[in-house]
Amino acid sequence: MFPEPPLGPPAPPAPDGAPVPGPNLEFSGSTPYEEYVRADVLSHLQQPLTDDPGEMSFLVTTQVMELWFTLIVHEWETAARGLREDDVPRAMAALKRSTYELRALNACWEPLAHLTPAQFNAFRAALGEASGFQSATYRRLEFLLGEKSAAMLVPYRGAPRIHAELEKALHEPGLYDEVLRWLARRGHAIPGAVVHRDVAERYAPDPAVERVWQQVYAGDQHSPECRLGEALTEVAELVWRWRNDHLVATRRAMGAKVGSGGSAGVAWLEKRAAKHVFPELWTARSHV
């Protein structure tokens, strides 16, 4: 029997004339790549409910968004932990990574934003009461941004594990809480009522916090406080872009119709897009 011919063209010779070895093609089970990435699992999670080709685009894009949510939550939890431990470089690195990930997340709106109303309507009924509003991982992301509300746990009462995770996140300090506590430890005049606030409640802007950021931005532009402020502002801007892109994609696909899951649709998204996270970082700029 003749040996099997090599796959592809022969490997180019190494500088010393020896052949360059190709990749290993023999494995006893699945490939190490599959065992690590679980690509086969990921590529078989899609179960469209209609024959419309646009539904596959909607489904895959939404699942990709969920993966980005998971990663961004991980980054912001890492940043919060770094600040809690006064490890600012660790926090800054996580925030910086999250800005790249937010840009990739925001790009996910592209395929959805270009569905015409007729194309979206072709499979929309299959969604039933499903809505991105119900995403548990996105809810954790919002909690980290200070958008806390116990009422947001209600949809998950039938899923005990998810409900417990969200309840834990509800009662933990958000990213901005850890920022303000770090500023207080650095000697800045963050009010005690802010430092010791009930973190299960939605964050409300405080004039004294605005004055602290005003002083930070009027001072040394290379200080850790100023660099952290700019990293947070970049995150906040990208979150705003996410919300605005969501609004535009929804308006293009369905106009002013009632949203999935019974929300007010575009009207609700307009209200969300008008809000800024880390609010004093924005208002302080008017006084510098």
State pLDDT tens for residues 149-186.
Answer: 999 999 999 999 999 999 999 999 999 999 999 999 99
Q: Which residue has the tokens 């990435």?
A: 37
12 in any annotated domain? no
Is 124 marked as binding a ligand?
A: yes
Rg of the chain over CA atoms, in angstroms? Answer: 24
Q: Does 269 fall in a domain?
A: yes
The Cα–Cα gap between 220 and 206 comes to: 23
Q: Is 114 annotated as a binding residue?
A: no
**Strand stretches in 12-165, DSSP E:** none
- CATH number, domain with residue 281: 1.20.58.480
Q: How far apart are alpha carbons 179 and 213 in whole angstroms? A: 11
Distance CA 103, CA 141 (A): 15
Residue 267 located in a structural domain: yes
* Residue range 56-93, pLDDT digits in tens: 999 999 999 999 999 999 999 999 999 999 999 999 99
Q: What is the distance of C-alpha 250 from the center of its chain?
A: 19
Print the domain residue range for 199.
53-122+133-255+263-287
Give the mean pLDDT of the chain. 91
- Residue 177 resides in a domain: yes
Lookup result for tokens 């892109």: 245
Does residue 164 lie within any of the structural domains? yes
Is 3 part of a structural domain of the chain?
no
Q: What percent of the chain has pLDDT over 70?
A: 92
User: CA–CA separation, 285 vs 208, rounded Å?
Assistant: 14
Distances, alpha carbon 98 to alpha carbons 66, 113, 133, 251, in Å: 14, 23, 21, 27
**Domain-located, residue 167:** yes
Q: Cβ(24)–Cβ(7) under 8 Å?
A: no
The DSSP bridge partners found for residue 58 are: none
Establish if 137 belongs to a structural domain. yes
- Tokens 């535009």 — which residue? 248
Q: What is the pLDDT along the chain (288 residues), one digit of tens a residue?
A: 444 444 555 556 656 667 888 888 888 989 999 999 999 999 999 999 999 999 999 999 999 999 999 999 999 999 999 999 999 999 999 999 999 999 999 999 999 888 899 999 999 999 888 888 899 999 999 999 999 999 999 999 999 999 999 999 999 999 999 999 999 999 999 999 999 999 999 999 999 999 999 999 999 999 999 999 999 999 999 999 999 999 988 888 888 776 565 666 788 788 877 888 999 999 999 999
Please tell me the pTM assigned to this model.
Answer: 0.89
The structural domain count of the chain equals: 1
